[in-house]
Amino acid sequence: MQRRVKLLVGLAFGLCAAAAAAETMKVTYPQTRRTDLVEQQFGQAVADPYRWLENDVRTDQEVAGWVTRENAVTQDYLGSLGQRAWFGQRIKALMDYERFGLPHKAGKFYFYTRNSGLQNQAQLFVRSGLGGAPRLLIDPNLWAKDGATALDGWEPSKSGKLLAYAVQDGGTDWRIIRLLDSETGKVLPDEIKWAKFSGISWIGDTGFVYSRFPVPASGQAFQQLNKNQEVRFHRIGTPQSADELVYATPDKPDLGHGAEVTHDGRWMVITSTQGTDSRNAVHLIRLGGRKANTDKWAAKTLVAELENDWRLIEGMGDTLYFMTNQGAPRLKVVRVNVAATNPQFTDIVPERAETLERARIVGNRLILSYLKDAASTAETMSLDGKPVAHIALNAIGTASGFTGEPGDPETFYSFTSFNQPSAIYRYDAATGHSTPFAQPKLTFDPANYVIEQSFYPSKDGTKIPLFLVRRKDVAAVNKPVPTLLYGYGGFDISLTPGFSATRMAWLEAGGAFAMANLRGGGEYGKAWHDAGRLNNKQNVFDDFIAAGEFLIAQGITPKGGLAVQGGSNGGLLIGAVVNQRPDLFAAANAQVGVMDMLRFDRFTAGRYWVDDYGYPSKEADWKVLRAYSPYHNIRSGVAYPALLVTTADTDDRVVPGHSFKYTAALQAADPRGKPHLIRIETRAGHGAGKPTDKVVAEGADVLAFLAQWTGLTVPGV
């Protein structure tokens, strides 16, 4: 214990010394052209001097030049940080373990992904029978020299003899769907382009349905708004031009559509949405055994209005099972006989105090996953809703998977936590027993890390859950240490415990990691989501600010030792709270954030986000957005914390112009303060499909920057 106290006293001294040294590391920013653009919006003058930075870096040479200059300054600064190499080595070592994806059974075949450790992309393997020899089917590491072309979604046909798989290049949301023969590994000539936000659902072995958008205008593929999504059927061996239109709503171009086929091939279920909100319409197409290319796709309405969440669980004959929040904000399970003259939904598993996350039918059982205070529980029930058994998880963490079909003897699920990489388990549907399928071999002991959960009051008194992770020796001494606080708070998305090699490197260095389950997420169902969106969005920022104040008040972190991080909607969160409470945070990392809240709906998928943010074209919504928009609320003469913005030149989800404009404005407002830098990755997109070497490099840069400004020092570095 005496050694631990000395170590932590040294850490506190290092915090002061590092912060003092950091003050001397001044940055000279590149010149950014500023225009006099001012627009009148709802009676207010709104300046947008950096709008030219919205232009596509691929086609605008001025924007490309700005990116090059900013990256040069950022890399020069990051290269001067002594702990950068250590963090890079530790993140790389912590990622160097064999990891598997969930197996998917089709016919006699079992498909699953595997990464040997440091491969840029996971490979796809297949086995004939569960105990069969693994056979490499797809190796995306051979697709691009920079490792940035990824295998995204994949789906075997009913028999497993064919496999449709989606290719993601350079991080874009666009997908190219290709086919191969599972037995020979031969790639078929079929190629599907302009798929986006699409599943793949097979009709037997003859073909599959998918979702696509019209071909974008020339040069606009990465910025044009996504409208008029269609469901199409592709028959194997035919060109994409012959794909049949299954479902579209040209009179309602804002609607998006996805299709699923029940396991018995009897029904196609089409779910339509208008934005990101959990409000769906549902239409059905009777398939039976008819030939898909000769009959018209006649859809009948099951749910007409976009009012509630409807998620297909499975179909058995004419009985369909759904999860829904209709009259059940934390969701329930219902079933319906769709062959009836007037189909009526019947409750099978009513709403309970926990939030229902997912449900599947495997064998002759329902498998239900719930969130209890943002951690997973799982159980089985009969098909009429009678409890059968709990599935033991034995730790605070996240369980996912449980996929399968009626009649299957088994399912697979993964379990992970802050101190445990994902392990895969086989669950026997008949016995209820779980056995390991693939467990990682670790280079650290999970028992050396302590996971705690607290509930702290937000500004209005609402209790907010917060996970805290520390090394056991750090927690035992219980002295303030540099802390990284993470949040999201939006779009009905729940933050749950999960492993990250980057976070583990921060913990190994002696820091603490905290994750706040802010309002706006889905941890407690619809009411929790509603409390953090639209004109309630300020609650999210208040919740996060209160989390920072709580960590300081509880002695977890010192006043000058708090770093904050968030991505996408969480990047917006970071931009907003840094503007509102610059005094609270020592350092911040805003990742691929939505920073201009008055123009977010004009690019790619931005139009979907109005469900959470509101419409910039409506005065009442505009006033709310204007009040917290990160880009529009930067003030001159304010001492902002050290801030590293991270984005990618190929991000077509949250276009990088958001981060470009925000960074330019912050550098201009506080030119002689702490560093406000932007790191712009190439061919990395919004995050999905990012190769391992880019993950390691970015993680090392971010942690070294945050450590420098919170005083986290690695012994011996």
- Helices marked H in 629-687: 657-669
Alpha carbon separation from 135 to 108, 127, 182, 259 (Å, rounded): 14, 6, 10, 30
Cα 426 to Cα 282: distance, rounded to the nearest angstrom: 33
Q: Which residue has the tokens 């911040």?
A: 588
568 noted as active-site residue:
yes
56, containing H or E segment: none
Q: What are the structure tokens assigned to 146, written together?
A: 């920079």
* Number of alpha helices (DSSP H) and beta strands (DSSP E) in the chain: 12, 39
Exposure on the CB side of residue 392, measured as CA atoms within 13 A: 5
172: which DSSP letter? -
Given 104, 257, 283, 686, the catalytic residue: 686
* Active-site residue, selected from the candidate residues 417, 500, 568, 659: 568
50 exposed, middle or buried (CB, 10 Å; 0-12, 13-18, 19+)? buried
∠ CA(560), CA(565), CA(567), 5° rounding?
A: 165
Which residues are CB-neighbours of 27 under 8 A, at least 6 positions away? Answer: 73, 77, 675, 677
List, in order, residues 6 or more apart from 270 with CB less than 8 Å away: 231, 246, 247, 257, 258, 259, 282, 283, 284, 285, 299
DSSP letters of 156-201? E-TTSSEEEEEEEETT-S-EEEEEEETTT-PEEEEEEEEE-S---E
Q: Are 120 and 147 in contact (CB under 8 A)?
A: yes
105 burial via Cβ count (<10 Å: 0-12, 13-18, 19+) = buried
686 among known catalytic residues: yes
Name the DSSP class of 392: P
Q: Dihedral sign for Cα 215, 217, 219, 222, please.
A: negative
* Structure token pair of residue 424: 């895969």
Strand partners, 363: 406
CA nearest neighbour of 438 among 60, 669, 103: 103
For residue 34, the 8-state DSSP code is -
Helices 84-95 & 692-710, crossing angle to 10 degrees?
Answer: 140
Under 8 Å between Cβ of 522 and 326: no
User: If residue 179 lies in a helix (H) or strand (E), which one and from where to where?
Assistant: strand 175-181
**In whole angstroms, what is the distance from residue 56 CA to residue 221 CA?**
10
CA distance 380 to 333: 13
Return the H-helix or E-strand segment holding 95: helix 84-95
Cα-Cα-Cα-Cα dihedral sign, residues 508, 509, 511, 513:
negative
The residues carrying an active-site annotation are 568, 686
